Chains A and B, each alone.
Chain A
Amino acid sequence: MDILTILFYLVTSVIIISSMSLIIVNNTVHAALLLVLIFFNSAILWLMLKAEFLSIVLVLVYVGAVLVLFLFVIMLLDLPIKEKVNQKLYLLFSLIISLIMFIELYMVIFYHDFSQVSEISHSSEFNNTYEIGLLLFTKHLFSFEITALILLVAIIAAIAINMTNKQRALKQDPARQIEETKQSRLRIIKDKDL
């Protein structure tokens, strides 16, 4: 056991414990923060697999942007902390789902020949980012462009959903704001005019 192995067990145990408490805790904000912890530790795991680009992008995208928006919404909604729920139905469904997942994982792990997977060994000169970029724009160009298109559609859809009736929406028009002059906004009234 070297230091990396100890670090691996530390990180994975943090991931497992926080995943379990993520399901157990009642407070939604705590759950979201636990998810942050899980993502962060997964990033460390990827870093140990020498995938530094992917791990930093995981922190940047999921922790830095997606979960911030999650927290943003959760905090603004002011959700009540759930006291007691009917757990029997949940138990049934969770048992079924976990059974399916267990069988899947079992098949993946025990029917797959891991001996063929080569040891990851690069020199320090190996540029992870460069290789990923090369693959994305040559071999996987089509799927890359499809992903971009899907994201674009999602953005347009989000904007379209939020476009409300113009009369209801209060907004300021900067073009009209800067057209205002002293004469149009200010009227000096002398005492004798009153």
Chain B
Amino acid sequence: MYDFIKNNISIATEYFNQLSVLPHTLLMILIIMLPLLILVAYYTYAERKIIASMQVRVGPNIVGPKGLLQPFADGAKLFFKEIVIPKDANKFLFLLAPIITFTVAFAAWAVIPFDGVKVLSDINAGILYILAMTSLGIYGIIIAGWASNSKYALLGAMRSAALIIAYEIAMGFALVGVIMISGSLNLGDIIDVQKGSIFHWLWVPLFPLFIIYFIAGVAETNRAPFDVAEGESELVAGFHVEYSGMGFAIFFIAEYANMILISALTAILFFGGWLSPFNYGDVNNIVNQDTVSTIILFFIQDGIHWFILKTLFFMFCFIWFRATFPRYRYDQIMRLGWKILIPLTLLWIFVEMIMIYFNIGPWFK
């Protein structure tokens, strides 16, 4: 009896030791999630403000100073709205779809390196993991479209599925180009390869792949000019036409989180992540350090602030595209994806192969 209890106690302590990493991981997840959610909220605000200014309007300016509390007002409104489930809809899948979309949009952030050391999970196959997670996002859309029992939703889901499958291939090939140079699937290693100055970043040797990656990223997130899945003038709102209240809000948050993810990935893969664009040398040797020069030196060094700045730039590009380009026609999207982007990526991978073989340029050692 005594042995039995003793055994159980030892097993319990073992569990406790194994579980003790759990609070730490949960805390890390929270540290990543909370700023992201706030960023999503203010991304919607920034989108409305920027598009308004591009169209010579004012934008939201009533709630709070300069309309800064608008996202929270919208959130509160959506939170208290009734969730309407359509007649004959598949209730379980209808409620599951936003959850899948949301989970997948945030799961990919686990391997994003924010800094030389700040990364939740530093796995070897990081880039593959991200590709896998972003390709799962389509399930939320397809299930939402089918479970809604509405023809608009189904059509939107089908369009979105075809679009994502088409552009995922181009995106994958663009990533192959990055992997060929870095020789690693680890995102940290990919950034380490780009050390030096702004001209050592991968956007120089891989310029066509960078353009294709970003175009495919815009298409994957179903944003303008590739937003045929929503297509207000044709499908009302596409796959989430039947969703109200929090269901709609979760789709919305997931879409914006995906946009931020694509921006962060573009910054990491082609623009050196946390690396500084200046070749500043060894700053610690400088003797004369007053306050101003210390601050300047801090900013020109590698650090998370460069990663955030680069990500914000690409996030701005998403909004910029929406305000600039008209929506593509559906067959034009398919032609662009299959007949232009995929052959271009294949061609550039071949060019890169030759450059690596003959050691051309400073990037291929």
Q: Which residues of A contact B (CB under 8 A)?
A: 1-3, 29, 33, 36, 52-53, 56-57, 59-60, 63-65, 68-69, 71-72, 75-76, 127-129, 171-172, 174
Q: Are A172 and B128 in contact (CB under 8 A)?
A: no
Q: Would A76 and B158 be within 8 Å (CB), given that A2-B14, A36-B139, A68-B138 are in contact? A: yes
| A81 CA to B124 CA, complexed, in Å | 44
What chain B residues lie within 8 Å of A52 (beta carbons)? 123-125
Q: Are B331 and A172 in contact (CB under 8 A)?
A: yes
Query: Which of B132, B165, B335 has the most C-beta atoms of chain A within 10 angstroms of its own C-beta?
Result: B132
Q: Are B14 and A60 in contact (CB under 8 A)?
A: no
What chain B residues lie within 8 Å of A64 (beta carbons)? 131-132, 135-136, 138, 168
Q: Shortest Cβ distance from A25 into chain B, in angstroms?
A: 12
| CB < 8 Å neighbour of A60 from B93, B131, B142 | B131
Does B289 interact with chain A (Cβ within 8 Å)? no
Q: Shortest Cβ distance from A157 into chain B, in angstroms?
A: 18
What chain B residues lie within 8 Å of A36 (beta carbons)? 139
Q: Are B125 and A56 in contact (CB under 8 A)?
A: yes
Does B267 interact with chain A (Cβ within 8 Å)? no
Q: Shortest Cβ distance from A123 into chain B, in angstroms?
A: 12
Q: Closest residue to A127 on the B side, CB-wise? A: B124
What chain A residues lie within 8 Å of B83 (beta carbons)? none
Does B185 interact with chain A (Cβ within 8 Å)? yes
Extra pairs beyond A64-B168, A68-B142, A75-B154 (18, CB < 8 Å): A2-B18, A3-B19, A33-B93, A52-B125, A56-B128, A59-B135, A60-B132, A60-B135, A63-B132, A63-B135, A64-B132, A64-B138, A65-B165, A75-B142, A75-B157, A76-B158, A128-B124, A129-B185
What is the interface size of chain B, counting residues whose CB is below 8 A from a CB of the partner?
Answer: 33
A-B contact pairs, 11 of them (CB 8 A): A3-B15, A3-B18, A52-B123, A53-B128, A56-B125, A59-B132, A64-B135, A64-B138, A75-B142, A174-B332, A174-B335
Does B146 interact with chain A (Cβ within 8 Å)? yes
Q: Shortest Cβ distance from A167 into chain B, in angstroms?
A: 18
| CB < 8 Å neighbour of B143 from A33, A65, A69 | A33
Q: Shortest Cβ distance from B220 into chain A, in angstroms?
A: 12
| A71 CA to B129 CA, complexed, in Å | 22
Does B176 interact with chain A (Cβ within 8 Å)? no
User: Please, what's the 1-or-0 string for B114-136, where 1 marks a CB less than 8 Å from any CB in chain A?
Assistant: 00000000011100110110011
**Which 3 A-B pairs give the minimum distances between C-beta atoms?**
A64-B135, A60-B132, A59-B132
Q: Are B128 and A57 in contact (CB under 8 A)?
A: yes
Q: Are A71 and B135 in contact (CB under 8 A)?
A: no
What chain A residues lie within 8 Å of B146 (beta carbons)? 29, 71, 75
| A43 CA to B335 CA, complexed, in Å | 34
Does B161 interact with chain A (Cβ within 8 Å)? yes
Q: Are B136 and A59 in contact (CB under 8 A)?
A: yes
Considering the complex, which residues of chain B in the window 144-158 have a beta carbon less than 8 Å from any beta carbon of chain A? 145-146, 154, 157-158
| A72 CA to B335 CA, complexed, in Å | 20
Q: Are B161 and A68 in contact (CB under 8 A)?
A: yes
Q: Shortest Cβ distance from A5 into chain B, in angstroms?
A: 11
Q: Shortest Cβ distance from B144 into chain A, in angstroms?
A: 12
Q: Are A69 and B165 in contact (CB under 8 A)?
A: yes
Q: Are B143 and A68 in contact (CB under 8 A)?
A: no
| A3 CA to B129 CA, complexed, in Å | 23
Q: Shortest Cβ distance from A46 into chain B, in angstroms?
A: 12
Q: Are A63 and B161 in contact (CB under 8 A)?
A: no
| A52 CA to B168 CA, complexed, in Å | 21
Q: Closest residue to A27 on the B side, CB-wise? A: B90
What chain A residues lie within 8 Å of B93 (beta carbons)? 29, 33
Q: Closest residue to B332 on the A side, CB-wise? A: A174
Q: Shortest Cβ distance from B210 into chain A, in angstroms?
A: 22
Q: Shortest Cβ distance from B242 into chain A, in angstroms?
A: 15
Considering the complex, which residues of chain B in the window 1-56 have a beta carbon less than 8 Å from any beta carbon of chain A? 11, 14-15, 18-19
What chain B residues lie within 8 Å of A68 (beta carbons)? 135, 138-139, 142, 161, 164-165
What chain A residues lie within 8 Å of B165 (beta carbons)? 65, 68-69
What chain B residues lie within 8 Å of A75 (beta carbons)? 142, 145-146, 154, 157-158
Q: Would A72 and B14 be within 8 Å (CB), given that A127-B124, A129-B124 are in contact? A: no
Q: Would A53 and B143 be within 8 Å (CB), given that A3-B15, A174-B335 are in contact? A: no
Q: Shortest Cβ distance from B265 into chain A, in angstroms?
A: 16
Q: Shortest Cβ distance from A149 into chain B, in angstroms?
A: 18
